[in-house]
Amino acid sequence: MSDNAVHFSDVGAAEQEAMGVEKGFESTELFVFLEECTSSWKESANLNVQLLCALCQLSIDDPQKAKIGFTSQELVKAISTIRGRPWSDASDKAQMSDDIRQQWNKLQKTWESKGEGIGQQLSDAAIPFLPRLAKTEGGGSGNLTRHRIEWVSSGVTPSADEPTPAAPVINVGAATIRYVCEDIQDANLFASAFTRGYFLKGWRKYLYIAVLAVPLLFAWLMLVHVLFGITWAYIVGTKDILTSLLSLGVMYWALWASVGPLYPLGVDKIVIAPWWMQSTEEDRLLERRGPSRYPEKSIKAVRYVAPCPLCGGRVSATKGRLEFFGRIVGRCEEAPVEHVFSFDHVTRNGKCLR
């Protein structure tokens, strides 16, 4: 366990007050808040997320045991309750341990993609703590592996992936939403370079410049070639001018579709990711990060989501289409035409546009 890990059930009232609990943050309230955060995740029905919910529920029910963690048998029982049907094999301890181990590993990967969003939600609620997954490995007779959630103080210098807090929510109402940032989990081979942040320093910076410069140079050379061909065709009287123009148009379209979204990134700071990074929902964005909000300059593939205040669905930042051409807007997955919201990646606030 890290030195700055906080277990409220293991400290006295005076120590709790020194750690900021006098502000109203008790251990059970923190676990309730975390469980509510997970309920809005798109992956909330996945077993590894249900394992996280089981940890929260067990910690709420037994704060004293939360400081040492819960066994695989306890977690399997809690997950079965959440699912409403048996899961794993309650009569086979080895099977339960193996199943929990597999889901724990998956949860750690999910946690990496959700960490920034969880931190933003806690910051929005003025909660000065961050949750961390922790496990104590068992060994020997009667010494079982235990899993738990630790709470650490958030009053630390931000890392490259942890920005300074965004502006607070203002004028919160039924038509106002608050976005949270999520990392991309299921990235393809090409997009994976941006999922953890593509830092613009050293050789990576020059490689990125080359990715932008080479298509421009190629497009210019092709334009010169086509113009020369048209001129030559006019002189000798051949009739392949239309074919040359069509070929040039197709080539320009292919280049723009592949790397075009990267060009305005330096000015707009956030753009819709090109097609080769997208998922079926087309909600992946490329965000240009740097001082003063982030310690280092980087480009990161992200997704911004929020719960819909109108129907309870999931709002994702995506294309503005013709009505909001050139803008990124939030659209509800349940009513993408009517439940539309503005999008500001700096304040993370949005208001209804209908």
Report pLDDT digits (tens) over 77-128.
Answer: 999 999 999 999 988 988 999 999 999 999 998 888 888 888 888 888 888 8
CA–CA dist 333, 307 (Å, integer) = 10
CA–CA dist 257, 145 (Å, integer) = 50
Strand partners, 287: 270, 300
Residues 345/302, Cβ–Cβ less than 8 Å: no
Domain layout of the chain by residue ranges: 5-156, 192-351
Amino acid at 251: M
Q: Which of 66-75, 161-170, 183-192, 194-203 has the lowest mean pLDDT?
A: 161-170
Helices (H), 188-347: 192-195, 203-236, 241-259, 265-268
Nearest to 300, CA basis, from 163, 119, 111, 203 = 163
Q: How far is CA 211 from CA 92, 136, 273, 302, in A?
A: 55, 46, 15, 20
Residues 57/35, Cβ–Cβ less than 8 Å: yes
Q: Which of 118-127, 154-163, 209-218, 289-298 has the lowest mean pLDDT?
A: 154-163
Identify the band that residue 201 occupies on the pLDDT scale cut at 50, 70 and 90: confident
Q: What is the pTM of this model?
A: 0.60
Nearest to 185, CA basis, from 112, 272, 274 = 112
Q: Which of 3-12, 136-145, 250-259 has the lowest mean pLDDT?
A: 3-12
Residue 164: both structure tokens together: 């300074």
Pairing mode, if any, of strands 176-178 and 298-307?
unpaired
CA–CA dist 177, 174 (Å, integer) = 8
Residue 221: both structure tokens together: 């050379």
